[in-house]
Chains A and B, each alone.
Chain A
Amino acid sequence: MIYYYVVFFPIEAMIASQLDPKTFGSYMARGSKKGSAEQLIFAEIEPGFGDYFDWEFAKKNCVPHADGRKKHSLYLSIYRVIEHIPLVQYKNIHLVNKDGSTLPLSQEPYRDPANWDGYGLYKEHCPVHPFIASSLKPKDLADYIINDTEKKITVPAIIFSDVKRIDYSEKEKTGNIGNMFDRDLDHLLDCIDMVKNQEGKITKTIDRSFDSKFSYQIVDTGFYIAKGKSILFYPMPTREALKEIDYDWGKSANIFS
């Protein structure tokens, strides 16, 4: 059996593999021999659409090794991948920790974030990676990024997550959020102030990359995959739910201490 995965982070790639999602996540995070330890976000997709990806090449080459071992990965494409994938092809997305443990997230109908406070913080994962503040809710933000052609910069598709907001005046009782707010808090507050109060300022880049600081601990409502006018929503489980779903993944992700 061949699985097709689109990796969003840390690279953008379409990969065919004989490994199931859990094993694939572990393999990609840890490697087979090189001993790497990387976070990874990917989605499984339903193959066979369009002609951008060479499905026949995949079927022909994604076969077991001579010694019977499964084929780990066959890269079908890198760079500008997600813009060629219709949203209907997406199945679960998978969040992989440094230690290779993998948590699947399922789609649910889109809903606005709870406790909206006039602004959102968003981490874009693919195809660009900035950390931004915006006065828009996720669906509106995706529409703005993809379809607002009045501004010069758009992308054909985007994957992002919204990020927890905390009481910035109370640095001691932050909860387990990693190193998100360790540095440049003043700058963050300036950015929030701009999108909240400055006329016409819809988004503001807080950090151009932020990849090294990103951790699943800071994901608030969930992940969003948007293309054209549509958006997919993958809610992040609450702490209580995660405790029941996969406590060990939560420990590896530093969500539980």
Chain B
Amino acid sequence: MIGFIIIVSIGALVFAAINFYGVKKKKAGTDEMQQIASSIAEGATAFLVLEYSIIIKVVALIAVLLGVVVSVSSAFAFVLGATMSALAGWIGMNIATISNVRVSNEARLTKSLGKTLRVAFRGGSVMGLCVGGFALLGLAIVYLVFGILFKQVSPENLTFRSNWLGISDIPFTMTVSAYALGCSIIAMFNRVGGGIFTKAADMGADLVGKTEAGIPEDDPRNPATIADNVGDNVGDVAGLGSDLLESYVGSLVSAMILAAYIFFSDGDIPVSLVSKLIYVPLLVAAVGILSSMIGILFLLVKKVSSNPHRELNAATFMGAGLTIISSGLVSYFVFRTEDLSSIDFAFGALSPWVCAVLGIISGIVIGRIAEYYTSYDYKPTLKIAASSQEGAALTITEGMSVGMVSVIAPVLILGTAIIAANVTAGLYGVAMAAIGMLSFVTVTVSVDTFGPIADNAGGISEMAKLHPDVRHITDKLDAVGNTTAAIGKGFAIGSATLAALSLFSSYLYGQAGENVVHGSSMMLNMINPLTLVGALVGAALPYLFSGLLIEAVANAARKMVQEVRRQFKADPGIIQGTSLPDYKTCISISSAGALSEMRLPALISVATPLISGFLFGAEFVGGLLIGTTLSSVMLALYTANAGGAWDNAKKYVEDGHYGGKGSDAHKAAVVGDTVGDPLKDTVGPSLDILIKIMAIVSVLAVSIFSKYNVFSLLVK
């Protein structure tokens, strides 16, 4: 079994390598195109090197802490998780900066939308395959080394053990949680840092270049334009990839932890069943990756039509469909000999599968809902565009309305999935629903990464002044990328919610500790003042976090605006096209801004559960997690959908409606889009990270602050 999982993981990475070199061997175009692409690649690499140099120190510090306070195995797992996530982000970003110019050149050479789409998707698939492959490989290694070789999954070890500090925990749960924490730390840096970088550059480029100087998007005369394209790679490729990798790992780990706790809390469960409950998530993930690989291959070998959205959907649906079939087979053949009534699985051997299917379907539905609220093919966005005729205030008002209204439908879907999964297989079922939603993450990340690659290709085509027909092709792919990004965001929020709620279940088990009795001790007492206050503080936390992020973007964007103005003033040759702008300074501003401004939000996400836990104990943190999760989900959906709708309302106007570009409606729509930019690309995605990282930190630390906290010391 573990051999199959490792083979599939390595197979995904080999497939990624084939696609990597398949893209790399393509011609990179004219000298000018290569020069532009090289500037983007250098900027992206410089940022990631700077970011990773900070991450290494943070990872080393946390690893030492984990080694001392929890266990050596946790420290190793943590470093492995961080390494796997960092590798996926690094390779994904690299292939994105290699693909962009080759996509542009493919359009130049072939003038074929289908062939160009294939190169962009092949590039995106490297990130998708790396996310799936590295995440699962790392977890399989943890399972093999610590679970099997060090016998942490042996029945005698699936019990509470005290370490030298007197802290009791189930060793395997700590090890896999630490692996997830490693992934979370990288995700936080990539998502939050990348989010600030990309929007500071984007806003700086737009506010001065487009609005003040009147130069078009991606014009090489704009000093911030390379930074803007770098931002697409560090934010939308490395950031999104790490985010979904973290959710993926979080959901897998939560199911494994729950299985361990179920065994501990209910001594009647056969050992063989527990073992299966622990490794089935890995098996489902493996067949999900396999299915995704087929979906990806399908798009790479078939004759691609001129409808890119349909082609990308076909790959996604094929991945999802095959995952449904294969995970059903896994569920049936693994559990068919077990008596699952003892753990209240409603549909016998197929119960985990039913839950996974619930997750898959709800993921797809949530994605479609996001599309409905953010695409200008539907009423909500068209209404915002129409309201732009009446000025910016109404554009903002209408967009806020759309964003707020858009929250309820995905929440109802999530709620339905959670209840149905819980009825089917208890809390383990909820975790399986999260796994189901993320089981075809390989293909969804491939599609999501296609977007920024196409965006960059469009930028390179513009900057290199390629023929309008070439730019038309890359623009069309970019437009499809915008839609897939909006769908991806909805998907990321949905999966983060399920992953966080699954981890929350693990937290409750951890809080109950050795006293846990299956079903009875799993309660969060909301009328306990500590829990209630924790929930209140938790609900407020995402607003503080979001406010700081918006301020961070504004600070960095302000510096960028000043720099672009300075360059235009200092050298009129820039705007006349006779001298080149200083792109590097703008990249440095975004890099420095992102890395310095992300510290406080990052610290809040990691330190809040720890500080509040050591001050007020586990009940408070339980409330905190619930409050933060609920509040973050609403805010993330609102910001992502409102921002996406504002963005596409502007695009609708720019496509020649209500006067098109230069009209008053356009000016109002631009204001809406600018307001929405940091909301949808920085705040929304970062909230995904906030809820997961707080949950995983709490799972890891609950056994410690349950025992040692100021409040219980004072009260007692």
Contacts and interface: CB of A to CB of B under 8 A. Distances in A.
A179 interface: yes
B572 A257 contact: no
Nearest to A31: B572
A248 B216 contact: yes
B386 A177 contact: no
A25 B232 CA distance: 34
A179 B575 contact: no
A30 B576 contact: yes
Interface string B30-48: 0000000000000000000
Interface string B563-578: 0010011001001110
B661 A98 contact: no
The interface size bin for chain A is 35 or more
A175 interface: yes
A57 B575 CA distance: 31
B214 A179 contact: no
Nearest to A240: B468
Contacts of A31: 572
A257 B655 contact: yes
Given A33-B569, A171-B658, A177 B663 contact: yes
B659 A173 contact: no
Nearest to B655: A257
A8 B606 CA distance: 63
Contacts of A178: 659-663
B659 A243 contact: no
The interface size bin for chain B is 20 to 34
A179 B663 contact: yes
B658 A30 contact: no
A37 B655 contact: no
Listed residue (A26, A175, A254) with the most chain B CB atoms within 10 angstroms of its CB: A254
A83 to B, nearest CB: 32
Interface string B369-399: 0000000000000000010010000000000
Nearest to A250: B468
B465 interface: yes
B656 A171 contact: no
Contacts, number: 99
B569 A176 contact: no
B212 interface: yes
A177 to B, nearest CB: 6
A100 B572 CA distance: 11
B679 to A, nearest CB: 23
Contacts of A27: 572, 576
B660 A182 contact: no
Contacts of B667: 179
B662 A254 contact: yes
Contacts of A248: 216, 219, 465
Contacts of A175: 656, 660
Contact of B389 (A26, A100, A171): A171
B656 A179 contact: no
A92 B299 CA distance: 52
Listed residue (B655, B661, B665) with the most chain A CB atoms within 10 angstroms of its CB: B661
Interface string B450-469: 00000000000000010110
Interface string B637-679: 0000000000000000011111111111111000000000000
Contacts of B118: none
A100 B575 contact: yes
A32 interface: yes
Contacts of B471: 247
B662 A179 contact: yes
A217 interface: yes
A181 B386 CA distance: 15
A106 B527 CA distance: 81
A251 B660 CA distance: 12
B216 A33 contact: no
A98 B214 contact: yes
Contact of B213 (A33, A98, A176, A247): A98
B180 to A, nearest CB: 44
Contacts of B467: 247
B657 A172 contact: yes
Contacts of A32: 572
Contact of A252 (B215, B654, B656, B664): B215
A20 to B, nearest CB: 12
Listed residue (B213, B389, B576) with the most chain A CB atoms within 10 angstroms of its CB: B576
Given A174-B657, A174-B658, A243 B215 contact: no
Contacts of B661: 176, 178, 217, 254, 257
B214 A176 contact: no
Contacts of B216: 248, 251-252
A176 B662 contact: yes
B214 A97 contact: yes
A182 B659 contact: yes
Pairs A-B, 3 closest by C-beta atoms: A98-B214, A176-B660, A178-B662
Given A98-B214, A99-B215, A173-B657, 17 more contacts: A27-B572, A31-B572, A33-B569, A174-B656, A174-B663, A176-B654, A176-B662, A177-B659, A177-B660, A178-B659, A178-B660, A178-B663, A182-B663, A247-B467, A247-B471, A248-B216, A252-B215
Interface of A: 23, 26-27, 30-33, 35, 37, 97-100, 171-183, 215, 217, 243-244, 247-248, 251-252, 254, 256-257
21 contacts: A26-B575, A27-B572, A32-B572, A33-B572, A99-B214, A99-B215, A99-B575, A171-B389, A174-B656, A175-B656, A176-B659, A176-B662, A178-B659, A178-B660, A179-B664, A179-B666, A179-B667, A248-B216, A248-B219, A251-B216, A256-B468
